[in-house]
Amino acid sequence: MKIISMLHPLVIYRYKQAIRGKLLPQKKYAAIHNAGKANLPEACRYLGAGYLTGSFGGGIFSIESAHYWLKKATDLGDVPAWYWRARLALTTQNIESESLNFIPGLPEISIGDIPSGLDAAIKFCKYGQDLGDNSAKHLRLRLLYMQAGENTDYAITILHEAANNNQSWAMIELAEHCLQDDERAAPSKGRARNSTMYWLSRVASQTENQNGKYHLLMAKAMEQGIFPKNSTNFRKHLKCAAEAQIPEAWFRYGVFLLKADRDGLNAEAWLRKAADAGYSDAAATLGDWITMGCPDISDEIGISWYMKAITMGHVGTMLHISRMIMIGKYSKIKIHEAKKWLREIINSGKCGPYEEEAKLIMLAMENKNLSRSR
């Protein structure tokens, strides 16, 4: 203990040099590890967070090491480490035991010994929040929202609390609810439609507004006339949302490129991405574009996209193909297949006005068969 107390000031000094980037990588890692072994709480947190995110020790990701150091940090009274323990709990719930990456020199533990899951993460955030850590507080609100279910009254209450704490993610969620005419999302009992602009304007004033969902909602708000729409801004928001890897934005941006730029090549690339991600409207649009707008491309390719949309349950395409069969087109598709789709629409009870159209097409098919049999 006497030797440690003599070395401690030097250990702290070397640790501070390391995190300021004033040491070479190997010496940096050694200095931080020495500080952790000497029970410097922030060094333990630094190590735990680094192993959790793969940003320490040459990119090593190790759940076991992250748990060891973060638990040590909280045991030593480091408040911000509770936030990181919550993140560890969320990560651990999706990790299998054979994927653990053991670091030599630490006690081996099983995945079952590491607290995991949403409840554990919320508990750790509560510890950090009670000790005054804002990161833990903000993460706890987000996790409580996930736990509550996004359309419940409690979830909306949590969103308002998070928005009052200036959390952009909550404002974006509230804006989406307002766009869907959910009056609960409006501030001070305002109208939902007007409140969409309120929430998105608040997000726009923050540096975090590169969120892809924010850009998608801005584009939708422009389409609905909530924000003034000009082509330049509309294009910018759709492109940002698409580049943020949102399938709906891939579809919308692809359609925009088709209509505004007549840029079939790039439009097709975005629409294909959306269709491959399971976005049925994109597959249907590719079918329309190829069969009706591309005379130099075989209809068979367009029909294959239509069929993909149908396998994804696209009701509009089911009706369209059925109508085409009625007028003698797409003869390779058997009429019994179309009847099967029409029955699905009629019996679903979820397709509203499409059900009546399906009944009319089905009746026309039956009459056509009768007239042929005579």
> If pLDDT is split at 50, 70 and 90, which confidence band does 221 have?
very high
Q: Can you give the pLDDT at residue 3?
A: 40
Instruction: State both tokens at 344.
Output: 């699905």
Query: What letter represents residue 166's amino acid?
Result: N
Q: Can you give the pLDDT at residue 255?
A: 96
Rounded to whole angstroms, what are the CA distances from 195 to 90, 149, 198?
33, 22, 5
Average pLDDT over residues 118-127: 97
Between 110 and 230, the higher pLDDT residue: 230
Give tens-digit pLDDT for 247-293: 999 999 999 999 998 888 899 999 999 999 999 999 999 999 999 88
Average pLDDT over residues 331-349: 88
Given a contact cutoff of 8 angstroms between Cβ atoms, the answer to whether 87 and 122 are in contact is no
- Could you tell me what percent of the chain has a pLDDT over 90? 61
Phi-psi region at 339: left, alpha or beta (left = phi > 0; alpha = psi -120 to 50): alpha
Most confident of 54-58, 97-101, 179-183, 329-333: 179-183
Mean pLDDT over each residue of the chain, to the nearest integer: 88
Count Cβ atoms within 10 A of the Cβ of residue 232 and give its class: 0-12 exposed, 13-18 middle, 19 or more buried: exposed
Give tens-digit pLDDT for 60-119: 788 888 999 999 999 999 999 999 999 999 998 876 544 455 555 555 666 678 999 999
Alpha helices in 102-211 (DSSP H): 118-130, 134-148, 153-164, 168-179, 192-204
pTM: predicted TM-score of the whole model, two decimal places: 0.79
374 vs 372: CA distance, rounded Å = 5
